[in-house]
Amino acid sequence: MHKWELFDKNLLITNFAYLVLHLIFYVLEIDSIRINFSQDALWLLNLCLAIVMFGVALDIKPGDFKNLISNPKATLLGIFSQFILLPALTFGLILLIKPHPNIALGMIMVAACPGGNISNFMTNLSKGNAALSVSLTAFATVAAIFMTPINLQFWGSLYQPTREILQTVSIDPVQIFKTIALILGVPLLLGMWWRQYRPKIAQNMSKWLKPISILIFLGFIAAAFAINFKIFLETIHLVVFIVFIHNGVALSSGYLLARLFFLPTADRKTLTIETGIQNSGLGLLLIFTFFNGLGGMALVAAWWGLWHIVSGLVLSFFWSRKQVLTVVS
């Protein structure tokens, strides 16, 4: 036997053994991750999300739901993009890259959540259709009470590795429905009631409550990262690129769908942001409430919560700057 043939075989065996050991370490590492998150912290997260939702609702009027009818094409595409297209594309992405089951279920959880609470701000910044953004936020918040548990159960059950997790955890979709209704639905109704019957007070409150509530929520996420900083540093490489690709798919799908159906530029920006900015805080709450802080899931939702702010702001600043340059030229 030629010495180079022996060398190649030995090298092949060595590389194969290294790959097997790496995969074993990868699986054990993800399965053993548990985020430090106490019951008190969970209650605080509930409170933060409720306050943020109340602040968002102060800008929502009953007429915003009527505005959905006045722009049916953009409305239907926005609803389709958030609740059908993104979960379906997420499932396709999972089949393509085959991440660890915990991470895959975290991706499905994020895709099943409604649009993020800062999407209205980013739409305004990017010179998008602010009225459409607010209307979609209002509708998505109500629809999420039903669609989030349905999408999580449906898409999670289609993929065998995530189906096994769902069966092990044995979550009750009705309990998820109740949790989302309490955290999103009640603050939404209270904020809209306040806006309807105390409009001047609501407008004044919205000016300081909305930005402060979002800062409080971001502070809470930062504190959670600080407490789990060591775990974050050791494991972030497992999800950082997956979240980067997933968020890119979400933003791109909203824009391409709007462009495919010849929506105006402002509406394209709005659908892009509404699809790409997800309420990962709600995802975290559901993960810690029903999945005991399952490591891979929590990492995906937490990193998404930070990354989509960066990607959304960069895109919004780009669009706002582009509009300024166009006007000047």
Residues 109 and 24 in one domain: no
**Tally of domains in the chain:** 2
Cα 40 from Cα 95, distance rounded (Å)? 37
**Total-model pTM:** 0.81
Residues 273 and 248 in one domain: yes
Residues 25 and 172 in one domain: no
Cα 303 from Cα 133, distance rounded (Å)? 24
Residues 46 and 66 in one domain: yes
Residues 305 and 192 in one domain: yes
Residues 102 and 240 in one domain: yes
**Residues ≥6 apart with Cβ < 8 Å to 150:** 173
Residues 289 and 202 in one domain: yes
Given a cut of 50, whether residue 94 has pLDDT beyond it is yes
Q: Compute how many other C-beta atoms are within 10 angstroms of the C-beta atom of residue 140.
A: 23
Q: For 307-322, how does the pLDDT look when each residue is reduced to its tens digit (9 = 90+)?
A: 898 899 899 999 988 6
Which 3 state secondary structure label does DSSP give 179? helix
For residue 269, name the pLDDT band (cuts at 50, 70, 90): very high
* Helical spans, DSSP H, in the chain: 3-32, 39-57, 62-70, 72-80, 86-97, 101-112, 119-125, 130-158, 160-169, 173-180, 186-197, 199-227, 229-235, 240-260, 265-276, 280-290, 295-328
Concatenate the DSSP letters of all residues of 110-163 into one string.
HHHS-B-TTHHHHHHHTT--HHHHHHHHHHHHHHHHHHHHHHHHHHHHHSHHHH
Residues 1 and 80 in one domain: no
Q: Which residue has the higher pLDDT, 91 or 21?
A: 91
* The Cα angle at residue 202 between residues 57 and 316, in degrees rounded to 5: 55
Q: Compute how many other C-beta atoms are within 10 angstroms of the C-beta atom of residue 24.
A: 10
Q: For 103-123, how does the pLDDT look when each residue is reduced to its tens digit (9 = 90+)?
A: 999 999 999 999 877 888 888
Q: What is the span of the domain harbouring residue 6?
A: 1-32
Residues 27 and 134 in one domain: no
C-beta separation of 58 from 122 below 8 A: no
Residues 14 and 118 in one domain: no
